[in-house]
Structures are given as structure tokens and as C-alpha cells.
Structure 1
Amino acid sequence: MDVDSLSPTQRDALSQIQALTNGGDSEVAIGVLSSVNWDVQRAAEIIFDGAHPPPQPVSPPRREEFEIDDSEQQGLLGGRRGGREFRPVDPAPFSVVVMRPLRVMFNILAIPLYPLFSLIRFLFRALHIPLPNIGPFSFSYRTLGPAPGRGARDPKTAAERWVRALEEETGAVCVGRAAPRKSSQTNGHSTASGVAGPSSLTTRPGPWEGSESGESKLLPDFFLGSYEDFARTCQRELKIGCIVIVSEEHDDDAEFKRSTLTDPSFLRVIQENDMFVWGGDIRDRDAWQASQKLHATTYPFVAFIALQPRRTPSSSAPPAPALTILSRHQGPSIPSTSAPTAAETLVSHLTDSLLPRVTPFLNKLRLEAAERDRERTLRAEQDRAFEESARKDAERITARRREQREAQEAQQRAADAEARAEEQRRAAAAAHAQWAAHRMAWRRWIRRGLVVREPRPGEAARGKTLRVGVRMPDGRRAVRFFGEEDRLTALYAYVDAMFVPPELVQDADPVAPPAGGAAGEGGLVAEMERAGKNAEKWWGFRLALAYPRKEIAWEAGKRIGDVEALRGGGQVVVEAVEDEASTKAKGKGKSAAQDDDEYDTESD
């Protein structure tokens, strides 16, 4: 299709597409526009995103509607065109016809010098020196036309790239990173700058004061994110938003960046009023869409947005405030005293018109939001107090139930312990009775088989006769004569026989050891080993010389004459020895009756 055959509206759309794509083939642009029914926005999305055109024309997507309040702009804006169209952006003929081909040739020839350019750019940026623009040539190299996949780049990544390029071009740094960098350099160290974001500084002497004395140049803290996120943040935080949209193809772009965006008075107004700032180049998709919503027709472009009351009849209830375009400023920044985007013009507009008109309503919204937060906090505290009271009541009920359960368990444990102790007492009594019966049977056999008769006068075979007096534990006394050659077992057997009750006569004693045991002293030793008791425990008593006290321990095969304490006879005392098992049983019975902690107490 020939350009001359296009209608004025179609030529207008073609001019906008060519301005956005840095020229480009007109036939390709006409083909893309005709495939989307000459919709500039959809054509730009197809070119930037690389999407295929739809088979049939579709209606343009719905855009976010803004209320526009241009009543106080004092002639800074021209008349507004109807609809969503752009006014054609007419590039300078000289730059289109002459400068663009020269730039292409220079970029091709300068490929071997790219490392040198990168080094120069790094040094200029490290020294905070603006990168020089030499006619059509610039050390801040960029590719011709939109970069591949530029329209599909993540909005946050695109914003970060644009801020980095802006810092390189102006030799300035964002306010949020200037103070940390300055303090680190003062300490003799250097730190990497952080990520720029919305300003969180309060009204105080800011770091921009150093720029007035020529120390360094500063830029606003740009919001790093999409334009939609920026608008929602301004609405949520009840702050004024400043939007900066530029086009690198415009001749006023470099001057605006270096004079307006780094102006100390403009930075001071933004920081002191805690404004959010967002910016971008229309070559990026997000910035181009923002320019469409803000009706930007000339670049550089600056707009201020904030929540404002809707314009409704007084009879109806006041609706919720809407995000409104407070003012728009577009065009060159020279001369500095009267240009639409000059720093002095913007500062004067903000201080004299916009802030006095907008700040009271925003303060009112902030007070209402603070009141709502206070009420919400109060309700939350009341809910927490109620929950705390309910929790404490539940804890008291739980503790009372636990105490009752523990008391019942303690009673049950005490009853179980008493039952076990009683069972142990019965078992110990049964075992003791069984052992006593067994031991009595052995005592009766010992009385018959191991107790020797007393030596007769003149009987020399058993050696010298010894007189031994015995005192029993119950106070009984007895005297017995033994020979020196008699075994110590005979003395123990005599004492053991004295424990046999009188009603058990000696004639009825068994003639053989109980349970088939062997006769004699050997059978006695075997019985002790089988019972697992030492001699003292098995006999149940011990013998000791009365005075001076000296114990006479039993030993198998030992003669009475070999016992030093009995060589001339003597008086022995019988001391009872309780069985260990019966002693423990008695101790357990006493402790079970006194304690309920299920622990046994040793008493031996």
C-alpha cells in the first residue's frame, strides 16, 4: 500500500509507529497497522513483543481510566485532543536524513573500540562526570531501534536499566544511594549502591545540599517496578506521585535529564513532601503504555497524580476518592525560567498551586486512615484480650482436670503399691516359713547326726577336755564339754540343736539328711552351697567370745583346739543373724505402708 493513498488518520498512526521504532520500514509498519485495524497500541505490542497479528481486527483493549484535573495548570498545557490518539511526533528532518545514517556508520566502525568506550564510561561514572555527547555520537552506546525483546522485558528490570542509564548519562546518583556511598567513602571504604526504590526519607537536611556546592549531582529515588504497581502504591500510601516519561529520540531529552532531574530545588521539594517518583523511556513497553494512559503527546513529559474526590452531584453520597492526574507538563526544559518542564517552572507549580490544593485532602485521608488503623488496632487488642481471657479460663479448667486426674492416679498408684507390698509380704512370709521348716528339718538331723557326746573322764583320744559355756539370745545358758580334737562343726551343731523346740523330742529326729542330702560334714557343706548362703546366713547365728569379744567363725574341718579363743575353754555368746530376704521383705512392707511413690527403701 502506498503512503500517499493513506487517510490523514492512517498517516498519523504510521508517524507514531515510525517515531516509536526509530524509523523503520514504512511498508512493514503499514502491514502491521492494517492487520490491527490501524490501532497504534496493538501495533506497538506486536512489534515489541514479537506477537503474531490477529486474523481479524479486534477492538482495542480497555485502558485504565483516570480523572484529569487540569484546572490549576496556569496555561502550562495546550488544548487536549479528544480520544486516545497521539499527536504526531515529528522528528527533525536533519536528524532523520543526515544524522541517523551517520550514526549507523559510526556504530559499525566503532565496534573494535567498544572495550575502550566501556572503560571511559566506567571512569566517567566512577568520577561522577556526565558522559559527553559529541554531536550525533555518544559514549553511552545503544543499539539501533528497539532492542530485541525490549517490549517483553520485565517492568522492574526495565526500570532498573533505565535508572542505571540515567545515572551514566547525567553522572548523578539516586538520593537513596548517595548518603551510604558518602559515609562509606568517608570511612575509607567503598560500598556498592543498593537498589533504588520509593523514598522513605522524612523532612530534614538532605544529601542534595551537597550538590549546590558542586560536590555531587543527585537524582530522585525512582520507584523500581511497573507503572501499575507505582499507581497502586501511590493510592495505598496516600502520596503524590511524580511520573517522568522521556524519549531518547527527542532533542530536549539530554538537557531535561541533566538540568531538571538533577536540580537541587526540585529534589528538595520531592523529598520534603515525600513524593513517589517513577520514570521510563517510551521505547519500553511499560513506559509507552503509561504515556497512552496519561495522554502524553510531547516529550519530555512530567505528570503528577494523587487521590482526589470524584466530581459528583452534591445530592448523592460522596463516593470513594479516585486516582487523578493533577497536572501534566510536556515539552522542552529551556529556557529554565519559563519552559514547561524546567525545574523552576515545576517547583513553582508544586509550591504555589498543586501542593496547597492537594495536600489538605491527602492529610484528611491520612487522618481517616490513621483513625481506621487505630480502631482496627483497638478491636484487635480487644479480640486479643478476649482470646487471652478465654485461654486462661481454658488453662485453669485444664489444670484443675489435670490435678484431679493426677490425684486419682496417685491414689491408684498407692493402692497398687499397697497390693504389691502385701503380695510381697505374703510371698516373703511363705518363703520364710518354707525355709524355717526346711531349716528345722536340718536342725533335727544335725541334733542326731552331728552333735557329739561329751568326752568321758580319762578319754585321751579326743584330746584335752574343754569346758564351753553357751549363752543363747533368749537368755538361756548351757555348759558343754568338748575335746580338743572335736570339730568346730560339733560346737555349732550343739548350739543349732538348742533352737529346736522342746516339744520336738530327739527320739523322733530323722536318721538321714533332709531332701536326700549326704551325711556328715560334707553333706552340710553341700547343703550350704545348694541353698546359696554363706555359713553365717545358713546357721542363722554367729558365735563370739564374751570378753574380750572375739568372733568365732565356722570353717569346715577346723578343730576346736585350733581356735585360739577356745584353747582353754571359755564363755561364748550366741548372736542371732536374720536372713537377708526376710529383712528386705519386712522393710518393703513398712515402706509401702508409709510411701506412695512406688520406690522400695533398703533397710539393711
Structure 2
Amino acid sequence: MASEGDFDIGQLSESQQEALQQYTAVTNQEVKDAVPLLQRSQWNVQIAIAKFFDGEGPDPVAEALAAQNDIPRAGARHENLQESLYAAAGAPAGRGPRAQGTDPAPRIVPRQPSATYRPPFLLSVILAPFNIGYRLFSTLFRALSYVLVFLPAPLRPRAVTGALARTAYGRRQLLPRDTAARFRREFEEQYGADGASELPFFEGGYAQAYDAAKKDLKFLLVVLLAPEHDDCEPFVRETLLSPEVVDLVQDPANNIVLWGGNVRDSEAYQISLEYQCTKFPFSCLVCLTPREGSTRMGVVKRLVGALTPTVYVQGLQGAMDKYGPDIEAVRAERRANEVARNLRTEQDSAYERSLARDRERARQKREAEAAAARAEERAAEAARAPWTGP
């Protein structure tokens, strides 16, 4: 094989020889010196050229690879008793209790409140008897709907469901962010500002909280309250505001987005219908379920009724321990993709810098050649000029 200097080019693969040829064509460096530099650059021509002209500082390839190697991998799955017994029975690993899947968690966008139309005074007087009759009928219909809402979804009349969702118990419908602010204000008025400040309720609508949990790979804890139910107030005071629950929700390591709603509001009521709530207070934990779909959000835990703080925390913690490794695996994959994107960006940047330097050198060379040509031309003209003596 042909060799240059002390290095045998035949030892290189075809792609490496091509990279070496491209590199030496730009730098004119000796092969014996070019090959080690290309090896340190993982045979990336652009980065090697940048190192040749800029000097070898911190290696972007090595840094990126080191950062990628430092990415925490998904930890080993910790089986609970049910999964261990299922595995001992001879079932394949990773199947059994998870095979049935989770209920899908819908993304619910409330209807926008419409502007109120006020008829002229004379028309209002004429329609007054009809308005009174309509209000009486609406009151009776809402009372009936409130009773029918506890029927199972297949038996619940669609007219009752749709009408009750629109009226929302007669409360004024607001935008999602304003509804969240009203819920927090009423929560503070009933349970105290100190207690409400301990719970980091999401300051926005359900859809925004849903999107934030999905984007940031967090758990979404949805809490629905119904003031008409006797269990709601003791649940809030004794369970939701208990130190155990507050610490669980506030801990940044748990990655919880807390969203609360009052079913007297249209948005929270629509959510209660979608989640098929038949008893309040109602809580559910929602998260990304990559085993059932790369972008699928599922309900991983339902907590209904006035539970004790211990039972409530154990339910949430158990679901987070069960689905947390899957979410962490997705988080690690996203970090790896980010490292790869940064590496590609660094490579492209190094290539652009090398091209810019090559263009600048070519421009300077052309200018120098042009200046030399002009000087030579002037000298030739001076030599051809006839000499005139004194």
C-alpha cells in the first residue's frame, strides 16, 4: 500500500481515507500529523479543521459524549407484591398487572363564555312573563339534573348532561384562568389564606395544566370539589391540607402539577363528566404512559371520597413509584436527544467557522495577488517609458 511519512494509509477505512483527503486538502498538513488529530475529532472533518486553525481547546465531541454517558438511565423496576406473585406464577416479565392498561386522560377545553344580550326595555317588559316561566322551569330542571348526574354514564340522559354542563349550576362562566383565580379565592375564604398558600394550585385552566404536565413529564393531580357534599370540607381540612399531603405535593422531586376545580363551574363540571365522577371529593393522578403510547396521557390513580391522609398519600405515592421509571426513561431519552442536537449544532458551527476562515483566506490571497499584479504592471509600465535626459 502507498504510504506517506511514517503512516500507512492502507490501514484506514474508505470513509476515513475520504475524511483524511478532505482535511489535508484544506489544511495541507502532513498525513502523520493529520491522522491523530482526526482520530481525536472522531474523524469529523469540520471539527478537525476548526481545531487545526483555532488550536485544540476543550473537545466538543468528548464533552458531548461524556455528557451523554452521564445521563441517568432508568432505574431498575421495583416490583410490588402483586407483580412479584404474578411473576412467580410464570408470567413474562413486565406483563400482568400492567397489561390491562389505564383509562385515557382527555384534554378538555371548556366552551368560551358568550356575550350577554340585553334586549330593549320595551321588549323586556313584553317578555317578562315568559322570562319568569323560563326561570322557574330552569330551576326545576337544574334540580332534576343534579339528581340524575349520579346515574351511571350509559343511563344518564344526554339532554341533562349537556344542559347542566352549559348552565353550570347558574354560576357565571369565566375564562379558564379567571375560573382558576376564583377557585383559589373561594378556597382561601373558606379554608384560610395560610392553608391555601401551602397548596401550589396551577394558575390556569385544566387544558394548560394538562399541557404543562405532558410537556415537562410531570404528574397531574386533579382535585374536584363539590360544596354541596358534606364530605368535601372535612376532606380538605383533614386530608388535603394535612402536612403529609402538602409535603408530597410541594416536593419538587415528585414533579406534581396540582389543579383544583369546583364542579359548580362549567370547566370542572365538564371534567367530572369526562372522568365519570359519581362521588365527591374526587382526585385522580394523570401522567404520560409511554408503554401504551408515546404521547398518551392516562389516569393512573383514582381517589374518591373522604380518605385519610395516610391512605391518600399511599395511593398517590404507589402510583408514582409504579409509573415513575417509565417517565424517567422518557426524560433520559429526551436529554440524550438534546445532547445529540447540541453535538450536531456544535459540528455545524465548527464547519461554518472553518468555511468562513477559508473564504477570508481566499479573499486575502486574491487581494494580495491583485495588489502584486498591479505593482508588477506599474513597474513594467515604468520600464517601458522612454527615458528623457536632462
Could you state the TM-score of these two structures normalised by the residue count of structure 1? 0.35
SS where residue 234 of structure 1 aligns?
Answer: helix
The residue identity in structure 1 corresponding to 2:336 is E
The residue identity in structure 2 corresponding to 1:376 is R
Distance 1:367 1:42, change over 3 A: same
Corresponding residue of 2:348: 383
Corresponding residue of 1:349: 315
Structure 1 position 359, deviation (Å):
1.6
Corresponding residue of 1:242: 221
Deviations 1:351-402 (A, max 9, x none): 3x22321222122221112112111221222122222222332333344455
Structure 1 position 158, deviation (Å):
1.0
Task: From 320, 327, 336, give the equivalent of 1:371.
Answer: 336
Task: From 147, 163, 168, give the equivalent of 2:171.
Answer: 147
Unaligned runs of 5+ in 1: 1-20, 49-144, 174-215, 312-318, 333-338, 419-604
Unaligned runs of 5+ in 2: 1-134, 149-156, 383-390
1:147-546 alignment, distance < 5 Å: 147-148=171-172, 150=173, 153-173=174-194, 218-272=197-251, 273-310=254-291, 319-320=293-294, 322-332=296-306, 339=307, 342-351=308-317, 353-401=318-366
Structure 1 position 409, deviation (Å):
8.9
Answer whether contact 1:218 1:262 (CA < 8 A) is retained: no
SS where residue 158 of structure 2 aligns?
Answer: coil
Cα distance in structure 2, aligned partners of 1:390 and 1:261: 62
Corresponding residue of 1:42: 162
The residue identity in structure 2 corresponding to 1:42 is G
The residue identity in structure 1 corresponding to 2:188 is E
Answer whether contact 1:303 1:325 (CA < 8 A) is retained: yes
Structure 1 position 155, deviation (Å):
0.7
Structure 1 position 310, deviation (Å):
4.2
Answer whether contact 2:226 2:280 (CA < 8 A) is retained: yes
Distance 1:221 1:405, change over 3 A: farther
Cα distance in structure 1, aligned partners of 2:142 and 2:226: 22
Answer whether contact 1:310 1:321 (CA < 8 A) is retained: no
The residue identity in structure 2 corresponding to 1:241 is L
Q: Give percent identity, aligned residues only.
A: 29
Answer whether contact 2:301 2:315 (CA < 8 A) is retained: no
Structure 1 position 253, deviation (Å):
2.3
The residue identity in structure 2 corresponding to 1:289 is Q
1:26 aligns with 2:145: no
SS where residue 167 of structure 1 aligns?
Answer: helix
Structure 1 position 167, deviation (Å):
2.1
Cα distance in structure 2, aligned partners of 1:326 and 1:388: 50
Cα distance in structure 1, aligned partners of 2:158 and 2:359: 71
The residue identity in structure 2 corresponding to 1:356 is D
The residue identity in structure 2 corresponding to 1:168 is E
Structure 1 position 255, deviation (Å):
2.1
Cα distance in structure 2, aligned partners of 1:24 and 1:410: 100
* Max Rg structure: 1
Deviations 1:523-544 (A, max 9, x none): xxxxxxxxxxxxxxxxxxxxxx
1:111-150 alignment, distance < 5 Å: 146-148=170-172, 150=173
1:46-57 alignment, distance < 5 Å: 46-47=166-167
More relative contact order, 1 or 2 (CA 8 Å, 6+ apart): 2
Deviations 1:567-599 (A, max 9, x none): xxxxxxxxxxxxxxxxxxxxxxxxxxxxxxxxx
SS where residue 243 of structure 1 aligns?
Answer: strand
Deviations 1:148-190 (A, max 9, x none): 3x2xx111111122112212322234xxxxxxxxxxxxxxxxx
RMSD between aligned residues: 3.4
Answer whether contact 1:222 1:277 (CA < 8 A) is retained: yes
Structure 1 position 349, deviation (Å):
2.0
Cα distance in structure 1, aligned partners of 2:247 and 2:201: 15
Distance 1:28 1:306, change over 3 A: closer
Deviations 1:102-137 (A, max 9, x none): xxxxxxxxxxxxxxxxxxxxxxxxxxxxxxxxxxxx
Distance 1:398 1:346, change over 3 A: farther
Cα distance in structure 1, aligned partners of 2:171 and 2:376: 86
Distance 1:398 1:257, change over 3 A: farther
Answer whether contact 1:308 1:321 (CA < 8 A) is retained: yes
| Structure showing the higher helix proportion among its residues | 2
1:58-69 alignment, distance < 5 Å: none
Cα distance in structure 1, aligned partners of 2:231 and 2:159: 28
Aligned residues: 233
Distance 1:397 1:160, change over 3 A: farther
